[in-house]
């Protein structure tokens, strides 16, 4: 088999051990399935992305020895995002939502995972003159999809979250919209990422299908026909209380570790150990660390 996989960190903080584990899974999948690797800097949220973090992603990956075949930075092609939005708007598939955060939380049901299930209050209201996000009209339809590790899922995005934003109230593109366009135009055939984003998969399958259908007629956009990628959501490193590591909490950044004198091999060994892939935290060269994960795929 051949194709392309991506590693897609958001430059909203420094990379930490959770990112390192994700990278190891991506590089392992590339090895197992003979894939090209694309590094995509996901700076769609211009309110939180910082140049300093972008630079550090390149530096940390280089220090650890991760090599990739191509790379891109999302903000370099925001004009394409706008053109896709225009196409969706022409078809009446997008509408402004002026609901405040508080309204969203109090006027809609909340899912088991704590998400707002938007009931479509602003559909048909066209209140463009007030601060608003833009939501995509999602069909009420079950998506059957398969995860290489977790098995089969049947999920209906309309029931999971309702029509969701593709641009937020601050005017920034959302993760869901950016990731769908980029995975399409970059010819991504394999998506390997943490299981904390698993919930996004059905909605991305739905949105990618819509984008592709609406845009393939316009050759200038170069959006191909949607072919669903293979999905694999990997387990996360959890702290001793069973909670996932996150940069907002106390996860140490890779550069802090490096500055404290830890070698790349020590860090790789430690991450595999924390992820319960190896029985001891012994230092490991990158190729061996990747090999450890390949065995689990
Ligand atoms: N940018 C996302 C993150 O850093 C990952 C997106 C994805 O792999 O789909 O959490
Ligand atoms: Zn609304």
* CA 246 to ligand 2 center in whole angstroms: 30
Query: Taking 80 as the threshold, does the pLDDT of residue 250 lie above it?
Result: no
Query: Taking 90 as the threshold, does the pLDDT of residue 188 lie above it?
Result: yes
- Asked whether residue 115 is assigned to any structural domain, the reply reads no
CB of 203 closer than 6 angstroms to any ligand 1 atom: no
Q: Quote the pTM value.
A: 0.94
How confident is the model over 163-174, as pLDDT tens digits? Answer: 999 999 999 999
Please report which ligand is nearest the Cα atom of 107.
2
What is the separation, in whole angstroms, between the first and last Cα of the chain?
Answer: 15
State phi, psi for 192 to the nearest 5 degrees: -120, 120
Lowest mean pLDDT among 7-11, 116-120, 227-231, 237-241: 237-241
- Per-residue model confidence (pLDDT) at position 192: 98
- Asked whether residue 107 is assigned to any structural domain, the reply reads no
- Per-residue model confidence (pLDDT) at position 189: 98
Cα separation, 277 vs 37, in Å, equals 23
- Asked whether residue 112 is assigned to any structural domain, the reply reads no
| Ligand 1 atom at minimal distance to the Cα of residue 22 | 8
Query: Taking 70 as the threshold, does the pLDDT of residue 203 lie above it?
Result: yes
- Per-residue model confidence (pLDDT) at position 246: 59
* CA 236 to ligand 1 center in whole angstroms: 13
- Smallest CA separation from ligand 1 atom 4, residue: 9
Residue 228 — pLDDT band, cuts 50, 70, 90? very high
Query: Taking 90 as the threshold, does the pLDDT of residue 217 lie above it?
Result: no
- Per-residue model confidence (pLDDT) at position 268: 97
H helix runs in the chain, sequence order: 17-33, 51-64, 78-90, 101-107, 157-160, 175-185, 201-215, 254-259, 264-274, 286-294
Average pLDDT score, the chain = 94
228 CB-side CA count, 13 A: 16
Q: Which of 5, 6, 42, 178 gets mutated to test ligand 1 (max ligand atoms within 8 A of its CB)?
A: 42
- Asked whether residue 113 is assigned to any structural domain, the reply reads no
CA distances from 172 to 8, 49, 85 (A): 18, 11, 12
Residue 124 — pLDDT band, cuts 50, 70, 90? confident
Residue 1 — pLDDT band, cuts 50, 70, 90? low
Residue 23 — pLDDT band, cuts 50, 70, 90? very high
| Ligand 1 atom at minimal distance to the Cα of residue 179 | 9
Tokens of 82: 């706008």
CA-closest candidate to residue 53, choices 13, 2, 106: 13
Residue 128 — pLDDT band, cuts 50, 70, 90? confident
CA-closest candidate to residue 183, choices 145, 229, 152, 235: 229
CA distances from 124 to 128, 135, 137, 180, 230 (A): 11, 11, 11, 25, 36
How many structural domains are present in the chain?
A: 1
Neighbours of ion ligand 2 (CB under 5 A): 97, 99, 121-122
- Per-residue model confidence (pLDDT) at position 38: 98
- Asked whether residue 84 is assigned to any structural domain, the reply reads yes
Which residue range forms the structural domain that includes residue 212?
4-92+143-153+174-294
- Asked whether residue 167 is assigned to any structural domain, the reply reads no
- Asked whether residue 183 is assigned to any structural domain, the reply reads yes
CB of 11 closer than 6 angstroms to any ligand 1 atom: no
CB of 8 closer than 6 angstroms to any ligand 1 atom: yes
- Asked whether residue 100 is assigned to any structural domain, the reply reads no
Query: Taking 80 as the threshold, does the pLDDT of residue 153 lie above it?
Result: yes
- CATH number reported for the structural domain that contains residue 286 in this entry: 3.40.50.620
**Mean pLDDT of the 120-128 span:** 85
CA-closest candidate to residue 176, choices 159, 199, 155: 199
- Per-residue model confidence (pLDDT) at position 134: 97
How confident is the model over 35-64, as pLDDT tens digits? Answer: 999 999 999 999 999 999 999 999 999 999
Q: Which of 49, 193, 202, 207 gets mutated to test ligand 1 (max ligand atoms within 8 A of its CB)?
A: 193
């Amino acid at each position: 088999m051949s194709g392309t996989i991506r590693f897609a960190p958001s430059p909203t903080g420094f990379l930490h051990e959770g990112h390192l584990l994700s990278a190891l899974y991506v590089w392992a999948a590339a090895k197992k399935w003979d894939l090209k690797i694309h590094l995509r800097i996901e700076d769609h949220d211009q309110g939180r992305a910082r140049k300093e973090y972008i630079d550090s992603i390149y530096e940390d990956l280089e220090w650890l020895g991760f090599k990739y075949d191509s790379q891109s930075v999302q903000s370099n092609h925001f004009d394409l995002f706008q053109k896709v939005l225009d196409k969706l708007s022409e078809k009446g598939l997008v509408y402004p939502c002026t609901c405040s955060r508080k309204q969203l939380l109090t006027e809609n049901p909340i899912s088991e995972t704590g998400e707002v299930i938007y009931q479509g209050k602003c559909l048909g209201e066209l209140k463009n003159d007030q601060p608003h996000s833009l939501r995509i009209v999602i069909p009420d339809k079950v998506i059957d999809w398969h995860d290489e590790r977790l098995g089969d899922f049947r999920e209906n995005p309309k029931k999971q979250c309702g029509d969701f934003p593709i641009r937020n109230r601050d005017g920034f593109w959302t993760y869901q919209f950016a990731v769908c366009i980029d995975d399409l135009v970059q010819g991504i055939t394999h998506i390997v990422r943490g299981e904390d984003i698993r919930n996004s998969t059905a909605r991305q399958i739905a949105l990618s299908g819509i984008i592709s259908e609406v845009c393939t007629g316009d050759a200038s956009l170069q959006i191909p026909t949607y072919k669903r990628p293979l999905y694999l959501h990997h387990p996360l490193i959890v702290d001793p209380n069973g909670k996932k590591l996150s940069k907002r909490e106390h996860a140490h950044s890779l550069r802090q570790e490096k500055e404290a004198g830890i070698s790349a091999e020590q860090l790789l060994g430690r991450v595999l150990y924390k992820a319960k892939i190896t029985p001891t935290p012994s230092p490991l060269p990158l190729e061996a660390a990747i090999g450890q994960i390949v065995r689990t795929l």
